[in-house]
Amino acid sequence: MVGENRLLTLLTNIRIIAPQPRLETRAPGTTYMSLALSRSSLSTMSLTSTKPSLRVLNPPAETAEGKLAYSSELQAELDAASQQLESSSPEEILRWAVEHYAPKFTMATAFGPEGMVLIHMLAEIAPETPIFNLDTGYQFKETLELREEIKRRYGIEVELKKPELTVEQFEQANGGPVYRTDPDRCCFERKIKVLQQSALGMYAWSSAIRRDQSPDRAKAPIVGWDKKFGLVKISPLANWTKKLVWNFITQHNVPYNPLHDSGYTSIGCWPCTRAVGIGEDERAGRWSGLAKTECGLHTQ
């Protein structure tokens, strides 16, 4: 009887703490989590994957100008590495890139959701990686404000790379806004030339493109040679989908451009970007009404 009383007293004093439900948040431009994958599947994909024995490249050869020397042997190595990295997580791909090319490995970002995911990962893997933004002078203020949020959150200062001419000088020299008369030239002068200059002294750069974003990007390798800029181009998120990107942002509370909550699924320069309607392609808001889908950074 005494033993039963002691057991009853013990059970009475035990507090059972029920797990608190976690509020679900909505991925911009989607229905409530119906578009997102379960946390368990994401965790399995990004956290528990076993790192394979990845291919180690030969030491890079340089040209007389200090640039990475392209050769058929280098191309074969990149092709083999890209194939092997197809089954790797973005974190593993970034680690591979850092191990092979740092300190001559860099990242360009337009502060899109994919870029923010990579910045979050690099903040944990290699926060010293130089990251820059091509500041055309036409970016939304919300885009530039996100740069400050990155500095507060991660302690990373994204460098703004600017064209030689200001917007006012550029338009005055060309009789008005070039984005209206020749958008391809506008992109070349305010983006492509700036990246070409920024690439000097670097061996490799990371992009945030996904294969499912557009037909132009559908065949993007994980690792490849970017002949336009004379760099190895690494795309850690090539195999990811929009669902995976926003699931990661939600799970890790990654900051993002608030314009995404207003229907802007792809954000570039304000004169050439609009919100998209229901059922429209993800990049339909870029250069709307023109036979143009890319700025030229990701085309050869």
pLDDT tens-digit series, residues 169-188:
999 999 999 988 988 899 88
**143 in a known ligand binding site:** no
Comparison of pLDDT for 24 and 3, the residue scoring more: 3
Mean of per-residue pLDDT scores for the chain: 81
SS3 (DSSP) at 103: coil
Please give the Cα distance from 36 to 27 (Å, whole number).
Answer: 8
Q: Is the pLDDT of residue 9 over 80?
A: no
| Percent of the chain surpassing pLDDT 90 | 54
Q: Is the pLDDT of residue 274 over 90?
A: no
Q: Is the pLDDT of residue 164 over 50?
A: yes
Q: Is the pLDDT of residue 21 over 70?
A: no
Comparison of pLDDT for 124 and 294, the residue scoring more: 124
Structural domains in the chain? 64-262 (3.40.50.620)
Question: What's the pLDDT at 293?
Answer: 52
Q: Name beta bridge partners: 133.
A: 160
**238 in a known ligand binding site:** no
Can you tell me the mean pLDDT for 255-280? 87
Comparison of pLDDT for 55 and 85, the residue scoring more: 85
Question: What's the pLDDT at 41?
Answer: 41
**187 in a known ligand binding site:** yes
* Torsion from C-alpha of 127, 98, 117, 239, nearest 10 degrees: 180
DSSP assigned state of 190 = I
**155 in a known ligand binding site:** no
Can you read off the two tokens belonging to residue 67?
A: 């640039």
Write out pLDDT tens, residues 94-139: 999 999 999 999 999 999 999 999 999 999 999 999 999 999 999 9
* pTM assigned to the model: 0.77
| Alpha helices (H) along 86-240 | 90-101, 113-125, 141-154, 167-173, 178-181, 183-187, 193-198
- Catalytic residue numbers, as ranges: 295
Q: Is the pLDDT of residue 215 over 90?
A: no
